[in-house]
Each structure stands twice: as structure tokens, then as C-alpha cells.
Amino acid sequence: MPLSESIATHVLDGASVALEGFTHLIPFAAGHEIIRQRRRGLHLIRMTPDLIHDQMIGM
């Protein structure tokens, strides 16, 4: 399943989302696809600080 289809199917507005990876393993493609699809009202779960969460908060 393509990433865009997976995000469209499983990440709905208002969902709780955890995107985790340490430094070089941060799932930027998934985060950017969520931003591109303009998901709203997400509850972001952070276990480590990383840039993708900051980008999603700013969208």
C-alpha cells in the first residue's frame, strides 16, 4: 500500500499520532504526507523531541 493511501486510510482528523525514530530514523515522509493531506485536530505523541512534530504543530 502506498504511504499516501495508508495515511488517508488510517490517520483521520482528530486521531492520536506517534511518529517516532531517533535522529536519522525520524519518519519524515509519513509526517510530510500527513501535512500534505491537511489532517486537523491531531493529538501528537512525542517520546523524543524532533523536527517533524514541530512542523506538524505549525501547519
- Decide if 3 contacts 37 (C-beta within 8 A): no
Residue 39's domain comprises 3-57
> What pLDDT score does 1 carry?
94
Cell of 57: 504543530
Question: One digit per residue, pLDDT tens: the chain, 59 residues?
Answer: 999 999 999 999 999 999 887 777 889 999 999 999 999 999 998 887 777 778 888 77
> What pLDDT score does 41 carry?
96
> What pLDDT score does 24 carry?
78
> What pLDDT score does 11 carry?
98
User: At residue 12, what is the residue type?
Assistant: L
Overall domain count for the chain? 1
> What pLDDT score does 39 carry?
96
- Which segments of 1-59 are extended strands (E)? 16-18, 43-45
| Cα–Cα dist 4/11, whole Å | 10
